[in-house]
Amino acid sequence: MAKEKKSALTENEGVSQSEITNSLSIKNIKKKRNAKINPKVLVASILKKDTTALSRAITLVESKNADHLDIANSIIKQCLPYANKSIRIGITGVPGVGKSTFIEIFGKHLTNAGKRVAVLAIDPSSSLTKGSILGDKTRMEELVKDDNAYIRPSASGKSLGGVARKTRESIILCEAAGFDVIIIETVGVGQSETTVHSMVDFFLLLKLAGAGDELQGIKRGIIEMADAIAINKADGDNLKRAKLAKVEFNRALHLYPTKDSNWQPKVTLCSALQNEGIDAIWNIVQEYIDTTTQNNYFNNKRKEQNKFWLIQTIEEQLKSDFFNRPDIKKELATQLHLIENDKTTPFAAAYYLLNLVH
């Protein structure tokens, strides 16, 4: 017995109690992570509004691990009957327009009104390191502490418009968890925002007054998709410029063709920093929902979005299957080498690889 005690003391010699505790905690965490996932149990927890279970489910959905695909699909299928009961809002704007500050104030406004709000914040990924900061929880200090709010930052990866690969599925999971409003924050203007527009009911464009118009080439497309334009930072010395910008945008919007929804996009001023004009934006969203629900555009748009998602999912899966084939991986390397040495063209190489599949 004395030898056993001496052996234990020798093993832990020079190791503090806190280090032993931390080591045990890490082992327990690893044990939980490696435990077999039961989709039914996870879904039951999500339906009870358990945000920890929700986060775990979204992680499975976003995972590129082939073993997680079937589990994720099972979870989504079980959650689907409880989805489609929220208002989905897409928010975009150039970097520096104040998206994070606006979303925090807007989210707090909604939670104070008794709403449960989920924010799916898309962070830009580095094209070099593939890394992403995922700092939205840090920027939204107050909202992250709100029991009726949930913030999930995700890396954009290679997705168009800065939308994370599995954002659509994450929306379904958040709706099943009982969130009334789902906010999708994009990376910002500069890539195709069509993907965002295809998954939300209401599309809000945040603008700055007096910032110039560096985005002239894509401005028309973005504004045509917007259901409302909010000119942020309309305070202090910038208020006069913001009011002038509002007049200009209102004039411009009347030149665009009438939307299928019969909704005339509105322009409003706000200051997220001063918490001004936020209630007006929520009123615009509610007015839009009422109008499009009455003329049945809301439901028709959701159906069209589901069709779009189907095509997108098929394209994504086909692309994944193609590049993961062992023969394609091998021949792709060969064709790339031939292209580098000017022995074939990219088009000829592409046809050659595609013919291997057929």
Residues 168, 58 share a domain? no
Domains contained in the chain, number: 3
Q: Is residue 202 included in any domain, yes or no? A: yes
Instruction: Give me the pLDDT at residue 33, please.
Output: 54
Report the alpha-carbon distance of residue 132 to residue 117 in Å, rounded: 24
Can you give the pLDDT at residue 338? 95
Whole-number Å distance between alpha carbons of 245 and 231: 8
Separation of alpha carbons 190 and 219, rounded Å: 10
Token representation of residue 39: 């989709």
Q: Is 243's pLDDT higher than 80? A: yes
Return the pLDDT at 279: 96
Cα–Cα distance between 309 and 316 in angstroms, integer? 10
Give Cβ neighbours of residue 196 (< 8 Å, ≥ 6 apart).
Answer: 90, 92, 161, 163, 184, 186, 203
pLDDT tens sequence across 197-236: 888 999 999 998 866 543 443 456 778 889 999 999 999 9
User: Do residues 55 and 160 both lie within one domain?
Assistant: no
pLDDT at position 185: 87
Same domain, 65 and 126: no
* pLDDT the model gives residue 36: 74
Q: Is residue 90 part of a domain?
A: yes
Q: Could you tell me the CATH number of the domain that includes residue 102?
A: 3.40.50.300
Banded model confidence at residue 27, pLDDT cuts 50, 70, 90: low
In the predicted model, is pLDDT for residue 59 greater than 50? yes
Q: Are residues 75 and 89 in the same domain?
A: no
Q: What is the pLDDT of residue 131?
A: 37
Please check whether residues 116 and 154 belong to one and the same domain: yes
Q: What is the pLDDT of residue 24?
A: 57
Q: Domain check: are 76 and 96 in the same one? A: no
- pLDDT tens string 87-115: 999 998 887 888 889 999 999 999 999 99
Query: Is residue 51 in a domain?
Result: yes
Amino acid 317 reads: Q
Residue 348 and residue 246: Cα distance in Å, rounded?
52
Last residue within a domain, chosen from 242, 271, 295: 295
Domain shared by 271 and 288, yes or no: yes
Which pLDDT score is estimated for 161? 40
Q: What is the pLDDT of residue 353?
A: 95
- Could you tell me if residue 13 is inside a domain? no
Q: Give a yes or no: residue 5 inside a domain.
A: no
Could you tell me how many residues make up the chain? Answer: 358
- 193 with 339, same domain: the answer is no
Look at residue 65 and tell me if it is in a domain: yes
Q: Name the residue with higher pLDDT: 161 or 97.
A: 97
Domain shared by 210 and 341, yes or no? no
177: three-class secondary structure by DSSP: coil
User: What's the chain's average pLDDT?
Assistant: 83
Which CATH number characterizes residue 65's domain?
1.20.5.170
Looking at the fold, whether 157 and 254 belong to one and the same domain comes out as yes
What is the distance between the alpha carbons of residues 345 and 258, in angstroms, rounded to a whole number? 45
Single residue among 266, 295, 324 that ends a domain in this structure:
295
Least confident window among 127-141, 232-246, 285-299: 127-141
177 and 238 part of one domain? yes
* Structural domain contains residue 244: yes
- Structure confidence by residue, pLDDT tens digits, 268-277: 999 999 999 9
Give the β-pairing of 181-185 and 149-155: unpaired
Q: Which of 1-15, 56-70, 170-184, 199-213 has the lowest mean pLDDT?
A: 1-15
Model pLDDT, residue 230 = 95
pLDDT at position 28 is: 56
Q: In sequence order, what DSSP letters do the residues of 279-346 get, joined into one string?
A: HHHHHHHHHHHHHHHHTTHHHHHHHHHHHHHHHHHHHHHHHHHHHH-HHHHHHHHHHHHHHHTTSS-H
* Angstrom distances, CA of residue 176 to CA of 4, 93, 112, 169, 276: 53, 28, 21, 11, 32
Question: Which residue range is the domain that position 347 belongs to?
Answer: 307-357
Mean pLDDT of 171-190: 87
pLDDT confidence band for 258 (50 / 70 / 90): confident
Is residue 223 assigned to a domain? Answer: yes
Give the pLDDT band (50/70/90) at residue 346: very high
Averaged pLDDT for residues 291-315: 91
20, 52, 81 — which closes off a domain? 81
Predicted TM-score (pTM) of this structure? 0.81
Same domain flag for 238 and 315: no
